[in-house]
Amino acid sequence: MPAPRLKEVVVLSCRFRMWPDPPGPPTDDPRPFSYPEGDFLTLAAATTRTDDGPTLYLQADVDDFALPFSLSLLLGARFEDAADAPETSLVRLCYPALREVVAEITGRSPLPEYRLPPQRR
């Protein structure tokens, strides 16, 4: 049996809010702004299955008082050769695309891009 493959990912919903004053270094401090370390991601997933294969709906929230922004995303993903794949495997396949979307959205703000931590096993 072939391994499941990600066919497409679409952003179904996105909400990005930045606090009114993005943090920045004081004028006499040469160090650039950096995000605190930690895993600030909350995920929730639901899967529907049809004859065309499974569709994963992945809700991702990056929201913590330690961060100067909040981001809420709903992704939809379709897969090939994944008829019986468990939902956790589908989320794992979708995670690199999620990391890319989060970096792209935050990088377009006045803040530096935020990179989600590498995928956990």
CATH number of the domain that residue 48 is part of: 3.10.420.10
| 119 within some domain | no
- Distances in Å between the Cα of 62 and the Cα atoms of 58, 75, 116 are 13, 14, 9
Query: Residue 54 has what pLDDT?
Result: 92
In-domain check, residue 116: no
**Does residue 37 lie within any of the structural domains?**
yes
Per-residue pLDDT, 29: 63
- Within a domain: 85: yes
Alpha carbon distance 120, 13 (integer Å)? 24
Q: What is the mean pLDDT of each run of 10 residues along the chain (121 residues)?
A: 90 92 60 84 94 93 93 96 89 96 94 87 58
Residue with structure tokens 């956990």?
A: 120
The answer to whether residue 121 is domain-embedded is no
pLDDT score at 51 = 85
What is the C-alpha separation between 101 and 87, in angstroms, rounded? 20
Domain that residue 65 falls in: 5-21+33-107
Q: How many domains in the chain? A: 1
Q: Is residue 91 part of a domain?
A: yes
Answer whether residue 73 is part of any domain. yes
Answer whether 13's CB lies under 8 Å from 73's CB.
yes
Q: Tell me if 39 is assigned to some domain.
A: yes
pLDDT (0 to 100) of residue 75? 98
